[in-house]
Amino acid sequence: MRIVEYDGQARFPREPSAVTVGSFDGVHRGHRKIISRMVSIARQRGLRSVVVTFEPHPRRVLKGGVSGPLGLLTTLDEKVELLQAELVDMLCVVRFTPEFAVRSSDNFIRSLLVGEIGAECVVVGYDHGFGRNRSGGGDELRRLGNELGFDVVEVDEVRIEHEHFSSTRIRSLLAEGRMEEANSFLGAPYMISGAVVEGEGNGRKIGFPTANILPPDPHKLLPKAGVYAATTVIDGNAYRAMMNVGVRPTVSSLGVTTVEAHILGWSGSLYGRELRFSLLRFLRDEKKFDSLDALRGQIEKDKKGVEL
């Protein structure tokens, strides 16, 4: 998959393309249905398949009607990895700025999708809208498609047990620690990735050394504080892990949320390496223990839960 950035000037050749547009935060199963349909149409018609997405997420730039900080389900690197698995030819990352935000949907479609990418088919979800005030919905697309010569394909809604798919719903599930339900909506385990940084060494003192993970984007959504069963891949080998998300109340009084993982079967230094963890299920809430021995005993129980 070719990855290109767009900051108002195209640095890629115009080519007949099937295109879909969206933030695609999480690249969940609803997103994948749209992207899969777009890729299928591109192959059938001999077109280039193109996903257009935005960085940063538009809700981090726009203020109207949005309360509180937005937690990202996927960093840009994680989104790239998930989209590569969908066999997309090109990912166009639009730098989303206040200046870009005021562009009309008409201008966006004419200049970028058709004029610079070469859209001959635009594939969108049933409730899609883009451009200023999300005015570029299905009716607008069809009007411009008739004028500019591209087809519009709308993909039906995806539901699980009658429940609507949305990134907002997945964020809510993660905040409640309902990891298996969140993963069902995502279609893959929730990812937390980042560089391994130096910690305080408390895990090593009690016989459970941990890799302390620093996500590259401070807006990455962390799930409910607690202990999780996870997996990671190091040097091509898969390992099970116990991941703790929280303030570590037994060993720290700073109240700072951290992410750390004890990787079963691994020994050696990981400092400076980039690791990606797949979270499988929630094991227990974070709590303060009366002693390090009590904490050690609980971690032994957690380990058994991870090994299941």
Burial of 85 (0-12, 13-18, 19+ CB in 10 A): exposed
CA distance 9 to 187: 35
Q: Which residues, 6+ apart, have CB-to-CB distance to 274 below 8 Å?
A: 193, 194, 195, 196
| pLDDT of 292 | 78
Q: What is the DSSP letter of 72?
A: B
Tens digit of each residue's pLDDT (9 = 90 or more) over 28-84: 999 999 999 999 999 999 999 999 999 998 888 876 444 456 899 999 999 999 999
> Looking at domain 2-160, does it have CATH number 3.40.50.620?
yes
| CATH 3.40.50.620 domain locations along the chain | 2-160
Helix 179-186 / helix 167-175 crossing angle, nearest 10 deg: 160
| CATH 2.40.30.30 domain locations along the chain | 189-307
Tens digit of each residue's pLDDT (9 = 90 or more) over 170-207: 999 999 999 999 999 999 999 999 999 987 666 666 67
Strand pairing category for 119-125 and 17-21:
parallel
Q: Which CATH number is associated with domain 189-307?
A: 2.40.30.30
